[in-house]
Chains A and B, each alone.
Chain A
Amino acid sequence: MRKTLLISAAALIVFAGLSIHAFQSPPPPPAPGTGRLIVYGDMALFQPPGHPENCILRNRFKRGEPVGWRMFVADPSTGKREESAQLVVHLIVSGRTIDIPMRYRATERQPEREFWVAKWVVPQDAPIGIIRYTVTATDKYGRTGEFKPFEVQASQLTIVE
């Protein structure tokens, strides 16, 4: 009798443990509206439309050239675009931070352009060398996110002669 009870108890413990493990793995995704926004994108030359080099990818710019950012914001739980996001590019130039608000690019005529853009024309007195930048985003749920470019020296936004 005692042996039977012991076996039953042991089996119950093992079963309960396995069940808990099964329920714990994998954890459910975060509910919509929670977590950190995923912000990503690239940098391009933002010449006027029709210019042969408009929108080619670049990280080296001369003074007077228009630096362009294109960014996307993803909801961390769905991976889909978070429409309510507001983005700002933060440039550090000569020790000063310049904030450039980004604009959502899609319009009624071009709904496929589901990304945000910003432009900065390199000033004539900009120092030669690397300019650090980040892009931050906030959405209507109060979530935030930040983009930083890959930490590769040669790929940073660089002002050249």
Chain B
Amino acid sequence: MRAHFGPAAAGIAALALAAGATMALHGQRAESQAPPAAQGRGRGAPLPPPEPQAGHPSGKLIIWGDVASFDVPGTLPTHCILTNRFKRGQRMGFRMTAIDGGSGETENTGVLVAHVKYAGTTIDVPMRWRGQGGFPATEYPRQPSEMWTGVWVVPADAQPGALSYTVTATDRFGRTATFSPFINVVSQIAIVE
């Protein structure tokens, strides 16, 4: 009996250890692959990662959004109005949301980056999740937890014309998504005199 159980027990124990080690490695890999949290961009130390959301991940990661004038200060009449035409020096604002498709909820681990094609290069504009940190109560009725924002200032020497952009996202589960605006030419972001 002992002769039968000894190897069997050793085998099961070895399997369990191997499985445990594999999962530990998997977890480590997932951690190391996880994209860095959005930085504060001069707003102090990065905030802690958000709480895990029950039921996530489920379905596809879906992102969408728009562009707006991010003119400052916030009291300017053009602050946060929708537009796709920007002048030199103006703050082009990207506003996006990331959705966990299966639950329909905001996927708050999303890391979003806007990619602006400008003067033959691609400029990456990191976006900040607005579910953490302060927000101006004069502009938002509540914490805009569904929103990510990023800003690109149109260079002073920019040539007038249309630009293209996309926004990409990854989440802690390894899902990815890409957003492109509607294809209509006139609606693309453009630099105007």
Contacts and interface: CB of A to CB of B under 8 A. Distances in A.
A42 B104 contact: no
B58 interface: yes
Contact of A29 (B59, B68, B104): B59
A18 B1 CA distance: 28
Contacts of A155: 68, 80-82
A15 B9 CA distance: 12
A152 B8 contact: no
Contacts of A74: 60, 62, 101
B167 to A, nearest CB: 12
Interface string B76-97: 0001111111000000000101
B187 A44 contact: yes
Contact of A79 (B13, B23, B62): B62
A76 interface: yes
A154 B82 CA distance: 9
A150 B93 CA distance: 13
Interface residues of A, number: 51
Given A1-B2, A70-B182, A113-B183, A150 B12 contact: no
A59 interface: yes
Given A18-B16, A19-B19, A56-B84, A4 B2 contact: yes
B13 A57 contact: no
Contacts of A113: 183-184
Give chain B's interface residue range (CB within 8 Å of chain A). 35 or more
B68 A40 contact: no
B5 A5 contact: yes
Contacts of B16: 11-12, 14-15, 18
B40 to A, nearest CB: 21
A145 B12 CA distance: 49
Contacts of A92: none
B12 A57 contact: no
B59 A77 contact: yes
Interface in B1-19: 1-2, 5-6, 8-9, 12-13, 15-16, 19
List 5 A-B pairs, minimum CB-CB distance, nearest first: A76-B101, A40-B64, A154-B80, A79-B60, A8-B9
Given A11-B12, A55-B187, 13 more contacts: A7-B13, A8-B5, A12-B16, A15-B19, A22-B19, A29-B59, A35-B101, A38-B101, A41-B64, A55-B186, A56-B85, A58-B82, A154-B139
